[in-house]
Structure 1
């Protein structure tokens, strides 16, 4: 089958909600046309949406190598990198050991700052950053981050709760 035929199969799989099959079809299209940047990009988008971030990152990096002038590939690369940094930060926070608590929190915060730099539209990254800042005792910066999360997604329940907690006892206008 040709690469284009595999792409058609991939889209049919997406339509049916079978993202594993879609990714497999994108990979078969890549096997047919290994220098087609758009195939790698499409694979990356599907993998990122399915939570396979390393696979998504590898694919979008290849797309960007093949077509460095393509702005949408660069933007998607930044988005996937931001997702990876957010996940790494969460892992650092989960692995908080008594002796390395501050070090892990600092590393997590650095990763989250990089995530929001790369993808400034990620309400989730701002939300996790706000939680880390609150835990670190930096309430003013935590409030700023949670407000940014709410600006991006006013329905983000965790951000609404954290914002209420951070602003408790504060005047509405200051």
Structure 2
């Protein structure tokens, strides 16, 4: 295994919290063994820890391509794709907050796909609930947010957001009945 010494160096760097250096060593190992799915997978994880989603996705895709029957690689790729979709939807929500209805279908589709890819990714549920709330669809917003709370029951921010949605829904009902 030509890449073994480089992988060892990558793990040493990870133990010291130096993910940039770890990526360097994983990339060096990949140069020695470009068709080793496990190295691509480990490199992807390290890029993801370092906040470099695009590079993480590239290596996750390569690992999944090289070993399409390896469930862990497929799950990791799905998780990264979910993060990318959620980030894109978040940008659309933030950019279109005053008129979300124009991008409604895109935002909802991206977030639903994100949840499909990674059903444990709480952020996707939270942003889907926010999108529904921005569209004044509070019943859906509350239902989706409850899913997020079931994933993170100790998260007080989610509970606070749920209370806020209930207040906003009540306020909207009062406005529409007057």
TM-score, normalised to structure 2, is: 0.88
Q: Could you list the per-position Cα deviations for residues 86-114 of structure 1 after superposition, in whole angstroms to 9, with x for gaps in the alignment? A: 1111111232286x632234322211111
The 5 A counterparts of 1:60-139 are: 60-96=60-96, 101-139=100-138
Change over 3 Å in CA distance of 1:50–1:157 after alignment to 2: farther
Change over 3 Å in CA distance of 1:51–1:138 after alignment to 2: same
For the pair 1:50 / 2:50, whether they are aligned, the reply is: yes
State the 1:157 CA deviation.
3.5
Q: Would you identify which runs of 4 or more consecutive aligned residues in structure 1 move more than 4 Å?
A: none
SS in 1 for 2:120: coil
Structure 2: how far apart are the matches of 1:139 and 1:167? 8
Q: Could you list the per-position Cα deviations for residues 50-109 of structure 1 after superposition, in whole angstroms to 9, with x for gaps in the alignment? A: 2211111110110011111111111111101000001111111232286x6322343222
Structure 1: how far apart are the matches of 2:92 and 2:165? 23
List gaps (5 residues or longer) in structure 2. Answer: 171-178
Q: What value does the CA root-mean-square deviation take over the aligned residues?
A: 1.9
Change over 3 Å in CA distance of 1:86–1:97 after alignment to 2: closer
List gaps (5 residues or longer) in structure 1. Answer: none
Structure 2: how far apart are the matches of 1:118 and 1:95? 24
What residue number does 2:175 align with? none
Contact 1:92-1:105 at 8 Å conserved across structures = no
TM-score, normalised to structure 1, is: 0.90
Structure 2: how far apart are the matches of 1:119 and 1:101? 24
Structure 2: how far apart are the matches of 1:90 and 1:158? 18
SS in 2 for 1:68: coil
Q: Choose 1 or 2 for highest CA Rg.
A: 2
State the 1:132 CA deviation.
1.0
Contact 2:47-2:55 at 8 Å conserved across structures = yes
Structure 1: how far apart are the matches of 2:15 and 2:45? 14
